[in-house]
Amino acid sequence: MASADGPLAIGPISAAELQQLFVLFSAVVAAREGYPHAPPLTWSQFEETWVRPVSVVVVARIGGVLAGAYYLKPNSPGRGAHIANAGYLVAAAYRRRGLGRLLVADSVERAPLAGFDAVQFNLVFASNPARRLYEELGWREIGRVPEAVAGEDAVIYWRRVGPGSPPLPETAGQAVARSAAPTGRG
């Protein structure tokens, strides 16, 4: 995917990009878009979501600008750590261009490389337009949380990844420049 803004590269975040991701996530939280955090976002809240305990943080750069990101981390500790939890975001200026689809597809490919065999979303708000995308890419609804945040219901989604998992639709990804994928949780 390339655009008038420049080429797209998807790969692991660098330490120098954490502040940019904080600014991007702060904007999403302030707009109350898809995450249950209450604004204003603190650095500590950011780190609890995006830094620790996180196994993988991948960013999308368009023309060298951080345009989106996702994380993968164990959904629960111990024996349940083989199931990842994931969170995604795309900067408002880069939405509706297919970047979210590419990030979600990339996470399906990287999750098994980090030791996960499934990905679960715990609080997808019923009004979230990404629900259709998740379902198109193989997630299935496994539960609901009534009035999860501010009276809005949330959906719990699950998808197997890796060997034996359903393949992504052909339209899920495009050839993109990727950095080396992670080889394990760390």
Distances (CA, A) of 2 to 62, 97, 174: 8, 10, 10
Q: Is residue 185 part of a domain?
A: no
Three-class DSSP category at 16: helix
Query: DSSP assignment, residue 184?
Result: S
Which stretches of 51-98 are DSSP H helices? none
Task: State the virtual CA torsion across 140, 146, 148, 154 in degrees, nearest 10.
Answer: 20
Single out the residue of 27, 75, 59, 67 nearest to residue 185, CA to CA: 75
Q: Could you list the pLDDT tens digit for every one of the 186 residues in the chain?
A: 545 778 999 999 999 999 999 999 999 889 887 778 889 999 999 999 999 888 999 999 999 999 999 999 999 999 999 999 999 999 999 999 999 999 999 999 999 999 999 999 998 888 888 899 999 999 999 999 999 988 989 999 999 999 999 999 876 655 444 444 443 444
Q: Is residue 33 part of a domain?
A: yes
Q: Is residue 180 part of a domain?
A: no
Q: Is residue 176 part of a domain?
A: no
| Residues of the domain holding 140 | 2-168
pTM for the full predicted model: 0.87
Query: Considering its fold, how many domains does the chain have in total?
Result: 1
- CATH number for position 134: 3.40.630.30
